[in-house]
Homo-oligomer: A and B are copies of this chain.
Amino acid sequence: MHGIGDVTAGDDLVELIAAAAPWLADGDVLVVTSKIVSKAEGNLVEVPADGPERDAARAATLAAETARVVARRGPTTIVQTHHGFVMAAAGIDASNVDKTHLVLLPADPDASARSLRAGFRARGLDVAVIISDTMGRAWRNGLTDVALGAAGIPPFRDHRGETDPYGNELQITQMAVIDELSAAGELVKGKVDNVPVAVVRGYLKATATDGPGAAPLLRDAESDMFSLGTAEARAAGLRDAAQLPDTLQHDHPAPPVDPEAVQRALETVATHLSRTTTVTPAEPSATNAVALHLQTRDTTAAGLIRLGADAHRLRAALAAESVTSIPLPHDDGIRLELSGAAE
């Protein structure tokens, strides 16, 4: 859709879009670039045009938009925003705006989509609205557009419970159709031609309620297998090793220990223990079925200190295999009581 021109705070986007596309029809899906929504809603911050002051203002804006840092490498910071989006630089954008402003994401993209849809309804036009933005992703080069907000269109097409022509129940459950529509919209919008709205016709049979918006597309960090960058998670593992608890964190009876996991841990440290350290199975105790005993042939102070470090190495290797260990140092070495991972 050409001819929307520059958008500024307070502009009536519905009026601008309707004027540029008098041919809009019921059932059309409007894919609206988030930037013009932010601009119309005045969701910008003023920043110095250049110099270190600009960098500082940008950093402060990023910090304000960040709920948690997901990953950092060189100049790239990937964060989860307060909305829940995982995006480079929190989606803050310095393009298609004058040099003294940064454009933030819309404060509530689903609400913005509902508001635009209501505006079209007030003009007698029953359309669905998707608010889209450009995002990177893990594992694949290049960016694609996805949906930040939506109204009048379900976010997913759900295949659960359906069967294919061979009678197999479909395992693929939910297609993120509003993300796919955003991607399709991007193909026709382009980045430099002032075409901030695309129209998809023929996809939606009928719009009904506003629906759940795009929020269901957000995966919470808890259920995300990639909630942290690899380097960040690795550093967290090192911190876990620094903070291994010395007392039991779970209820008795202790979860059982996988002997293969213990074997893998012993292999992990095999070439990293002092040559004076020996590891042997220890007698079970009343509370723990599996225990290891570490001793040293070097009973000088330095030798005993090395033994303690070796015991902690082994504890870290066990923790990597989800085996919990309780250290019991005594005059003849150190006993590690093992249990499976606490739930």
Tell me, yes or no, whether A54 is within 8 Å of chain B by CB.
no
Tell me, yes or no, whether A268 is within 8 Å of chain B by CB.
yes
Of A20-28, A113-121, A233-241, the segment with at least 4 beta carbons within 8 Å of chain B is: A233-241
A 33-92 contacts with B by CB, 8 A? 71, 73, 76, 78, 85-86
Give bound CA distance, A244 to B166, whole Å: 54
Give bound CA distance, A171 to B134, whole Å: 12
Known contacts A71-B226, A309-B311, A312-B308; A176 and B94 CB within 8 A of each other:
no
Tell me, yes or no, whether A170 is within 8 Å of chain B by CB.
yes
Tell me, yes or no, whether A205 is within 8 Å of chain B by CB.
no
Neighbouring B residues of A238 by C-beta, 8 Å: 237-238, 240-241, 316-317, 319-320
Neighbouring B residues of A244 by C-beta, 8 Å: 272, 313
Q: Are B269 and A332 touching (Cβ within 8 A)? A: no
Nearest CB of B to A174, in Å: 5
Q: Are A172 and B241 touching (Cβ within 8 A)? A: no
Neighbouring B residues of A230 by C-beta, 8 Å: 224-228, 233
Q: Are A332 and B301 touching (Cβ within 8 A)? A: yes
Q: Are B139 and A86 touching (Cβ within 8 A)? A: yes
Tell me, yes or no, whether A141 is within 8 Å of chain B by CB.
yes
Chain A contact-residue range equals 35 or more
Tell me, yes or no, whether A250 is within 8 Å of chain B by CB.
no
Tell me, yes or no, whether A201 is within 8 Å of chain B by CB.
no
Tell me, yes or no, whether A307 is within 8 Å of chain B by CB.
yes
Nearest CB of B to A171, in Å: 6
Known contacts A239-B320, A242-B314; A139 and B192 CB within 8 A of each other:
no
Tell me, yes or no, whether A183 is within 8 Å of chain B by CB.
yes
- A residues neighboring B (CB under 8 Å): 6, 71, 73, 76, 78, 85-86, 94-99, 134, 137-146, 155-156, 159, 162-168, 170-177, 179-181, 183-184, 186-187, 191-192, 194, 203, 216-219, 224-244, 265, 268-269, 272, 299-317, 319-321, 327, 329-334
Given contacts A138-B139, A138-B224, A242-B272, 12 further A-B contacts (CB under 8 A): A96-B164, A139-B219, A144-B176, A159-B192, A163-B192, A170-B191, A180-B183, A239-B320, A242-B317, A243-B317, A301-B330, A302-B329
Q: 15 interchain pairs (CB within 8 A)?
A: A138-B139, A138-B224, A138-B225, A138-B226, A142-B179, A143-B173, A180-B184, A225-B230, A233-B233, A236-B237, A238-B320, A242-B268, A243-B313, A309-B315, A316-B316
